[in-house]
Amino acid sequence: MMTSLLALLNFRRCYISFIKKVNEKKGPEGLEETKKAFDFMLNYVGYDIASGPVWLEYIAFLKSLPAKTAQEESHHMTSVRKVYQRAIVTPTHHVEQLWKDYENFENSVSRTLAKGLLSEYQPKFNSAKAVYRERKKYVDEIDWNMLAVPPTGSYKEEQQCMAWKRLLIFEKGNPQRIDTASANRRITFTYEQSLMYLYHYPDLWYDYATWHANSGSVDSAIKIFQRALKAVPDSELLKYAYAELEESRGAIQPAKKIYESLLSSSSNTTSLAHIQFFRFLRRTEGVEAARKYFLDCRKSPSCTYHVFVAYAMMVFCVDKDPKAAHNIFEAGLKKFMNEPGYILEYADFLCRLNDDRNVRALFERALSSLPPEKSVEVEQRKKEALSRSVEEGSMVLENTLYDVIPRYSFMDLWPCSSKDLDHLARQEWLVKNINRRVDKSNLLHGANITEKGSVGLTTNSKVLPPSAKVVYPDTARMVIYDPRQTLGSEAASTSASGLSLVGSGLKASDDILKVISPTLVAFITNMPAVEGPSPDIDVVLSILLQSSIPTGQTGKPATSLQQMPGGPGPTTSDHSGSIKTRMNNGPPHRPPRDGHSGKRKDLDIAPSTLVSAILLQSVPEEWPRASSVSTPFVIGTEKNTQLLSEQFLGQEDDESMTVQSRPLPRDVFRLRQMHKSRGRSTSQTGSAASGGSAFSGDQSVSTD
C-alpha cells in the first residue's frame, strides 16, 4: 500500500546521495552542505510515518564525520544527540529501533549522563510509540497508489477521501500533546501529503486554507487559495470563498479582481455572478456603483429575472427605498411577464407594501398572458392573496369545500380536523373520478382513496397535513416485547393486549370462540401465553398430548363440529412414507386421559386465537422430530394437517443433531413412556379406532 510513499522517500534519499557524491571532494565545506541537505529534507518529510530510514541514515552520516580535536568530537556528539532526540519523539515505523540505538549511544558516551537523559525522554518516547500505533490504523486505510484525478464519485474515491480526512482530524487533535508549532508543522505536512492524491478536490483545498486562517496565518491561507484556483480553476465556490477572505482583511482590489474574473468569460457568466458582484459593490463602493453596474448587466444576454428581483430587494431592504424597488419590478415585468417565478416575487413585494390594488392588477395582467400550464401556481397565489382582502374575500368562492382549506390555513394550523380533511380528500377524489368505474374495495377502504386523492390533487397536495395522505396505526395499543418477562401475570397481560392488535380486538376473539366446538375452545384456553416470538415447545407438546381434539370436515366451518353425527374416524395410509389424512363426517371418540388434565394448572395461562395458526404454519425447526410417529391431532384442512405432519413429525432431520442426542424435558419423557405402553395395549386389543400418540411407534389407523 505504501509503494508510492516509499518511492517518494527513496527519491529524496537519492537526492541526498547525489549531494553527498557532489560534495565528497570539497572537504569540510562539502560535509556541511550535505548536512544542510539532510536538515532540509527532514524538515519536509521527517514527520512521515515511513521516514525512519532517513533518520537512521542522517545519524549514521553524523557519526561518520571525522573529528580532529576534542572540541569537534564533542560538537559531533551533541549533533548526534539532538538528531536522536528529534527522531525518538516522531511516531515512525522505526521509533523503537531508534530508541534502542539512542540508549546504546548515551551509555557509550557516559552512563551517568545517560541515566538522566534517558529518564527524561522515556515518557516522550512512550507517547510517540502510543501515537504511532493509533496513527498506523489511519495510515493503513489509505491507498498510496491512488492517482490524483478529478473526482468521479466512485465508492473507492469516497472511501479514500474519508480516510484522509480521518487522518487529518487525528493530527489536528494533537494526540501527542506537543507544542503548537510542531503540531502545526505535522498538520501542514499531512495536508500537503493528502493533496498529492486529492489534488482536484476543492473541499480539501478549502479546509486547508480555512485551517491556516483560523490558526492566524491569513497570508498562508491566501497562498493556499491561489494554489487551489490553479488546481481547480472552474470552481466558483473557491473563488467566492477566496474573495470573501480578501474582503475580510480589507483587500478590496484583490477581491474585486476575483469577482471580475468570474465575469470575464461571457459564455460562462451566470446571473449569480452578476448578483454577487453588485452586492459586493454595494458593500465596498456604495449605492451608485451598484446601480451603475445593474444598469449595465441588465442588458447582458445572461441576465435573468433573478437579477431584477435581487437588485430590487436589495434597494428595498438595504437602501430603504420602496419606490425605486417598485420601479425596478415594473421594468422587469416588461421583460419577464411570462415567468411565473417573477410574478410571484413581485406579488410578494406588493403584499409587503399592503398594495392590494396593484396586487390584483398584477395577477389580472399575468393570468391574461400566461399559458394555462404556467398559470396554476399563480392562480393559487392569487386566491391566497385576495383572501386577505375584506372586499374581495367574500366574493371569491371555490368550487368545493376542499379547495377552501388552503386559503384559511396558516403554517401548521388548519380550519378542520384530520378526520374531516380525510373525508374531504376522499370526496374530492370520488368527484374527479365520478365517470370512472370505482372498485368496491376502494370504497370500503378509506385509506386507499385517501392516498389516491392526495396523489390526484397536484395543486393542493403540498399544503395538506400528513394525516390526509397516510393512515397511521394506533401506536397506543402497541406492546413492546420484553424477553425478561415470565409466564406469570405480566406475560398474560402482554398476550391479552397483543390479541387486541389482531383482527378486531377482544370482541372478535370472543366471537371466534363462540362458533367453534367446546373441545377446541378448551384446547385453545389451555394453551400457554407466548413468551417472545415462539412458544415454549415443551409446554405446547405437553398440552397437545393432554388434549382430545375432534377432527373437522375439510372446507367446512367450525360450527358444524357440534352438529355432525358420530361416525368412523379418519383413515391414514403410510405406504408412501408421508401421512395423508382424509376427513370423515364425525369426530373420533377418544378416551379421556385421566390424571393428566390438571397437570399444567400451575401456569398462569392467557387465551389466544393465534395458537392453531402458529402450530400449523410456523412450526420451528428446533422442535424434536421422530421418523416413526403419528399425527397427534387434526385441526383444519388436509393441507394444514399435511404441513404439520411433515414439519413436526415426518421428514428426516438434515442437521447434525439426532433425536437421541437432544435432551427431552422430564415431563415429556414420562408422557412418552405412558403412550408407548398405551400404544401396545391398543394395538393388541384391536380397537375400532386408534387416535395414535405423538411419541408412539405405530401409525395411527382407523378401521371401518
Q: How confident is the model at residue 688 (pLDDT cuts 50, 70, 90)?
A: very low
Question: Among 299-308, 474-483, 658-667, 693-702, where is mean pLDDT lowest?
Answer: 693-702
Q: How confident is the model at residue 259 (pLDDT cuts 50, 70, 90)?
A: very high
Q: How confident is the model at residue 384 (pLDDT cuts 50, 70, 90)?
A: confident
Q: How confident is the model at residue 650 (pLDDT cuts 50, 70, 90)?
A: very low
**SS3 label, residue 149:** coil
Asked whether 499 and 479 are in contact (CB, 8 A), the reply is: no
Question: Among 109-123, 366-380, 487-501, where is mean pLDDT lowest?
Answer: 487-501
Q: Residue for cell digits 487525528?
A: 170
> What are the grid coordinates assigned to 165, written together?
480526512
* Long-range CB contacts for residues 463-466, cutoff 8 Å, separation at least 24: 463/405, 463/406, 463/409, 464/405, 464/421, 464/425, 465/412, 465/414, 465/418, 465/421
Asked whether 634 and 581 are in contact (CB, 8 A), the reply is: yes
pLDDT higher than 50, residue 623: no
CB-based contacts of 114, cutoff 8 Å, min separation 6:
103, 106, 107
What's the CA gap between 162 and 146, in Å, rounded? 14
Of 487 and 339, more confident: 339
Q: How remote is the C-alpha of 585 from its chain's centroid?
A: 58
Please give the pLDDT value at position 665: 46
Please give the pLDDT value at position 299: 86
Please give the pLDDT value at position 481: 65
Read off the pLDDT of each residue in 506-528 and give the average, rounded to a whole number. Answer: 70
* 63-99 tens-digit pLDDT: 988 878 888 888 889 999 999 999 999 999 999 999 9
Of 264 and 668, more confident: 264
Please give the pLDDT value at position 45: 85
Please give the pLDDT value at position 287: 93
Please give the pLDDT value at position 532: 57
Please give the pLDDT value at position 282: 95
Read off the pLDDT of each residue in 205-220 and give the average, rounded to a whole number. Answer: 95
Asked whether 549 and 636 are in contact (CB, 8 A), the reply is: no
* 397-418 tens-digit pLDDT: 567 787 778 777 878 888 888 8
pLDDT higher than 70, residue 7: no
Angle (deg, nearest 10), helices 418-432 and 446-456: 70
Q: Count the residues in the chain.
A: 704
pLDDT higher than 50, residue 675: yes
Please give the pLDDT value at position 251: 93
Q: How confident is the model at residue 670 (pLDDT cuts 50, 70, 90)?
A: low
Read off the pLDDT of each residue in 665-688 and give the average, rounded to a whole number. Answer: 51
Alpha helices in 24-154 (DSSP H): 28-45, 52-63, 70-87, 95-109, 111-139
Of 475 and 4, more confident: 475
Question: pLDDT over 90 for what percent of the chain?
Answer: 35
* 295-308 tens-digit pLDDT: 999 888 888 999 99
Domains, the chain, ordered by start = 1-200 (1.25.40), 482-685 (no CATH)
Please give the pLDDT value at position 484: 60
Of 226 and 491, more confident: 226
Residue 582 phi, psi dihedral angles, 5° rounding: -115, 120
Please give the pLDDT value at position 46: 87
Read off the pLDDT of each residue in 248-269 and give the average, rounded to a whole number. Answer: 85
Q: How confident is the model at residue 312 (pLDDT cuts 50, 70, 90)?
A: very high
Read off the pLDDT of each residue in 500-511 and give the average, rounded to a whole number. Answer: 52
Read off the pLDDT of each residue in 348-377 and give the average, rounded to a whole number. Answer: 89
CB-based contacts of 490, cutoff 8 Å, min separation 6:
482
> What are the grid coordinates assigned to 483, written together?
424477553
Q: How confident is the model at residue 2 (pLDDT cuts 50, 70, 90)?
A: very low
Please give the pLDDT value at position 535: 66
* 544-561 tens-digit pLDDT: 777 665 554 444 443 433
Question: Among 253-262, 369-378, 494-503, where is mean pLDDT lowest?
Answer: 494-503
Read off the pLDDT of each residue in 630-638 and give the average, rounded to a whole number. Answer: 40
Residue 580 pairs in a beta bridge with 573
Q: How confident is the model at residue 126 (pLDDT cuts 50, 70, 90)?
A: very high
Q: Residue for cell digits 378542520?
A: 416
Please give the pLDDT value at position 547: 66
In which region does residue 429 sit, left (phi positive, over 0), alpha (psi from -120 to 50) or beta (all else)?
alpha
What's the CA gap between 408 and 71, in Å, rounded? 96
What's the CA gap between 86 and 63, in Å, rounded? 16
Q: Is 478 exposed, middle or buried (0-12, 13-18, 19+ CB in 10 A)?
A: exposed
H or E element: which one contains 210? helix 202-214
Read off the pLDDT of each residue in 222-234 and give the average, rounded to a whole number. Answer: 94
* 16-73 tens-digit pLDDT: 788 888 887 787 888 888 888 888 888 888 888 988 988 999 999 999 888 788 888 8
Alpha carbon distances (Å) from 61 to 27, 37, 96, 375: 14, 12, 20, 83
Q: How confident is the model at residue 106 (pLDDT cuts 50, 70, 90)?
A: very high
pLDDT higher than 60, residue 277: yes
Q: How confident is the model at residue 396 (pLDDT cuts 50, 70, 90)?
A: low
pLDDT higher than 80, residue 667: no
CB-based contacts of 453, cutoff 8 Å, min separation 6:
425, 426, 428, 429
Read off the pLDDT of each residue in 469-495 and give the average, rounded to a whole number. Answer: 57
What's the CA gap between 64 and 66, in Å, rounded? 6
Read off the pLDDT of each residue in 627-651 and give the average, rounded to a whole number. Answer: 42
Q: Highest-confidence range of 126-130, 418-422, 619-623, 675-679, by mean pLDDT? A: 126-130
pLDDT higher than 90, residue 647: no
Instruction: For the chain, give the mean pLDDT.
Output: 73
What's the CA gap between 558 and 561, in Å, rounded? 6
Read off the pLDDT of each residue in 109-136 and give the average, rounded to a whole number. Answer: 92
pLDDT higher than 80, residue 9: no
Q: Highest-confidence range of 134-138, 380-384, 599-603, 638-642, by mean pLDDT? A: 134-138
pLDDT higher than 60, residue 613: no
Please give the pLDDT value at position 583: 38
Q: Residue for cell digits 386577505?
A: 388
Its pTM stands at: 0.58
Of 102 and 580, more confident: 102
Read off the pLDDT of each residue in 218-225 and give the average, rounded to a whole number. Answer: 95
Q: How confident is the model at residue 534 (pLDDT cuts 50, 70, 90)?
A: low
Please give the pLDDT value at position 386: 72
Instruction: Give the type of residue at 362.
Output: L
